[in-house]
Copies of this chain bind each other. A is one copy, B any other.
């Protein structure tokens, strides 16, 4: 039974997943190290990953890679079972830095890929500035073309334009992909990326480059985040990553994409893999925390039963089940949603699919990382004081994953992108990154809210059309998710239609909670559909029955969490809402005997689970 379930979880990239687990299993946890030692340890493990072939997966075959984009995300996800600083450092090097060189550069730049893969060229992805994090379109660093010298001059105009929080900048990075406003002949062409050497071979900063260490962080202290300032640093014309915009020797700018906005979004879009990877890494960390908390909860006893005189295993308490089992069900749901997202990334065929992918990635990233924060917190508390000790690992998971809700896009901003995509039906890139663009768009358009079923369309159609009103009827559950999404979106479109160019900000802002709710309802539905499709493709009736119950728990606990909305909108009667809570309690009790197996099958390598409380 465990094998069938594991195969289902392993999914389309089972082979990559197993290979990566094997590689991870060869590494060992760092133990307690000071910050500098920890950074050195991480760098060493990076070389071990490189030697083990980890970075090859996603890079092009012509440079020795395996051209497996989806596989590269799955391999990254597996690293989330191990050391999270290592995972993030790998993401910086091969995902962000290497990914940008590959996606934004052209032939000449791609010559760097072998050195990037092998870690001979450690690099940085220098996008965020102190003054502009979410609003990257308005970055202030400049790359000005000097036609005489045929060079770009990279410059930090003021304090708020320093590059901030840049992974690998403080210690290891030699080269940075610097995002800057490209200026030729006095005209700005919007944000582009330029390759800038930041350290020489001795490790000293290059002339004109100032580097500062961001210092200790809440977690991820094995990653050397730093700040960069450029004082008129000159790089050759060829340093521009010029796939989407190039400058001729005499300073003529050209681009295959018209409009600075569209161009920038296209460039950003090529980096969508980072967001999907973070969602996957968050998923792995959450699974690991659940594995620890549920194993501990299955053996830890407290308070003596009056009837038998035995002490009660804490996972037998309803409150303990409530804390952990709906979260476990959600982790299953997100696992299957993640698999679909990775497939969508791997198979993306056209522009509309790309924009839908970007929106879905934003939504799943936001929901997965908030789920990680909440669930790992619950696991910490469920382990009591022991959960606070470093040796029991949950504390580290909590500290390391906390920033996931912020990096690769602040979750609140990301959910706004999701709503924007829904309201515009992914029609090109509407306006700018600012969130009220959607208000202006909606005001000018007739918006048809259409719920497009994503996964397993035929199965869902069948479930819905034949559904009763029983709480455990999957068709009923799906209808609730769809109905909420449609209704919330329609209401939002009506509100935003009042926008004029003058009041767009205010109209948007008073509806901002509505915007976030609409996005959330959409993501919930997409996640449920992915889970439904996974249950449907399960070949074993026993496993399928178990997953069915897990899916019920996900669906009903999600509706329960938002049941005020369903009550307010006449979708649930008071009596039915109360019975929903009872149903969730019963599902928790029903899954209790299977909890241990449901986490064991996640397959966290035992070497990375060496917590004394579960030893």
What is A's interface to B at a CB cutoff of 8 Å? Answer: 32, 34, 128, 131-135, 138, 164-165, 214-219, 301-307, 311-312, 316-319, 322, 373, 377, 380-381, 384-385, 387-391, 395-396, 398-399, 402-403, 405-407, 410-412, 433-436, 440, 501-505, 509-510, 512-513, 516, 563-564, 567-570, 574, 577-578, 581, 585
Contact = CB atoms under 8 A, between A and B. Distances in A.
A388 B412 contact: no
B390 A215 contact: yes
A585 B517 CA distance: 14
How many of these chains are in the complex? Answer: 2
Nearest to A502: B307
A305 B567 contact: no
A585 B128 CA distance: 31
A440 B305 CA distance: 12
Contact of A567 (B307, B405, B510, B574): B574
A41 B440 CA distance: 57
Given A217-B390, A307-B501, 6 more contacts: A32-B216, A134-B303, A216-B389, A306-B504, A317-B512, A564-B567
Contact of A395 (B34, B217, B384, B440): B217
Contact of A133 (B165, B312, B385): B385
A412 B569 CA distance: 33
Given A34-B34, A318-B509, A318-B513, A388 B403 contact: yes
Given A306-B436, A312-B505, A385-B406, A512 B318 contact: yes
A214 B386 CA distance: 10
A316 B512 CA distance: 11
Contacts of A399: 218, 399
Contact of A391 (B215, B306, B503): B215
B128 A385 contact: yes
A99 B435 CA distance: 55
B390 A216 contact: yes
A304 B434 contact: yes
Contacts of A306: 434, 436, 440, 501, 504-505
Contacts of A574: 567-570
29 contacts: A32-B215, A32-B216, A132-B302, A133-B302, A134-B303, A135-B311, A138-B304, A164-B385, A165-B385, A216-B389, A218-B388, A218-B399, A219-B388, A303-B433, A306-B504, A307-B502, A318-B509, A318-B510, A318-B513, A319-B412, A319-B516, A373-B377, A380-B402, A381-B410, A384-B406, A388-B406, A564-B564, A569-B574, A570-B574
B390 A218 contact: yes
Contacts of A317: 509, 512
A218, A304, A433, A578 interface centre (most CB from chain B within 10 Å): A218
A179 to B, nearest CB: 16
B389 A214 contact: yes
Contacts of A395: 217-218, 402
A76 B227 CA distance: 38
A215 B389 contact: yes
Contacts of A302: 132-135
B384 A133 contact: yes
Contact of A406 (B132, B215, B381, B407): B381
A131 B406 CA distance: 38
Contacts of A32: 215-216
A32 B213 CA distance: 14
Nearest to A395: B218
A501, A516, A567 interface centre (most CB from chain B within 10 Å): A567
